[in-house]
Amino acid sequence: MNIKYKLFGLFFKQNSKLECHNVLLTTNTYYKNLSKENKKNFRIRTLIFLETTNFNSDPEFHLDKSMKIIISSAFVQITFGLKINTLNIFNNIFITPRSYSYKNNTAIFDGDVNLYTKKINMSWPAIENGFKIPDDAINLSIHEFGHCLIFENTKRSYLSKIFKEKSFNQWKKQAEYKFQKIKLNKNKVLRDYAGTNLMELFSVSLETFFEKPEFFEKNEPILYLSMVKLFKQDPRNKLNPIIK
Ligand SMILES: [Zn+2]
């Protein structure tokens, strides 16, 4: 087990780690497929994220610990190959019992990252469905955390960037090719929403990267491999996805 997480692990109670394991084993397919050693690191990272993030919900909606574990696991999944353990700017998560809308706006949301309130808002049914169907390339919490990573990466100083600049630039180059393909209707890998802008293309790619990695690699190998480099993991290797 990674020394850092072994030490962190000492701060969490045994029954807390066991609860985390039991919840993830039945809800998160990525976790379920990991090796025993990776599972240990994943659990500790999930608990670190959970304990350092403020979770809130509508007063009428009770957000229990297992729900927080599931939400936290999406963050750990996408950052499993990276050094980041928590979000600095977006460490407030607000959960609603259903889809929602904003004043003076007719759009209905299941999730959004609000740059003004610095909050991540998500509806519980959409989060749950994201994990219930693990291979449809739709996972709301992976999508929203994807946005957070881009925002936080932009705000960080050169030395504390989440992504290596070279890998990020390589990804951007491939993403721009892909964006043009979508505009020309020559896309069969990502859902159409990726054609909204590069920010959405990033999050939609991330959902596909984790939920349909073989299909993604087969049809868009260069874009797929740029994501492997960026996230330092290859989700096709289910037992041990991290690239050293
Ligand atoms: Zn989005």
How many angstroms does the Cα of residue 94 sit away from the middle of ligand 1?
Answer: 16
Question: Do the domain assignments include residue 225?
Answer: yes
Total domains, the chain:
1
Question: Do the domain assignments include residue 179?
Answer: yes
Instruction: Read off the pTM.
Output: 0.96
Question: Do the domain assignments include residue 220?
Answer: yes
How many angstroms does the Cα of residue 142 sit away from the middle of ligand 1?
Answer: 10
How many angstroms does the Cα of residue 16 sit away from the middle of ligand 1?
Answer: 32
How many angstroms does the Cα of residue 140 sit away from the middle of ligand 1?
Answer: 9
How many angstroms does the Cα of residue 145 sit away from the middle of ligand 1?
Answer: 9
How many angstroms does the Cα of residue 193 sit away from the middle of ligand 1?
Answer: 8
How many angstroms does the Cα of residue 100 sit away from the middle of ligand 1?
Answer: 15
How many angstroms does the Cα of residue 150 sit away from the middle of ligand 1?
Answer: 11
CATH number at residue 176: 3.40.390.10
**Token pair belonging to 22:** 């039991």
Question: Do the domain assignments include residue 231?
Answer: yes
Q: What residue numbers bound the domain in which 179 lies?
A: 163-244
Question: Do the domain assignments include residue 210?
Answer: yes
Question: Do the domain assignments include residue 37?
Answer: no
| pLDDT tens, per residue, the chain with 244 residues | 788 888 888 889 999 999 999 999 999 999 999 999 999 999 999 999 999 999 999 999 999 999 999 999 999 999 999 999 999 999 999 999 999 998 888 999 999 999 999 999 999 999 999 999 999 999 999 999 999 999 999 999 988 999 999 999 999 999 999 999 999 988 889 999 999 999 999 999 999 999 999 999 999 999 999 999 999 999 999 999 999 8
Question: Do the domain assignments include residue 189?
Answer: yes
Strand order across the beta sheet in which 54-57 lies: 54-57, 92-96, 119-123, 111-114
How many angstroms does the Cα of residue 9 sit away from the middle of ligand 1?
Answer: 33
Question: Do the domain assignments include residue 188?
Answer: yes
How many angstroms does the Cα of residue 173 sit away from the middle of ligand 1?
Answer: 20
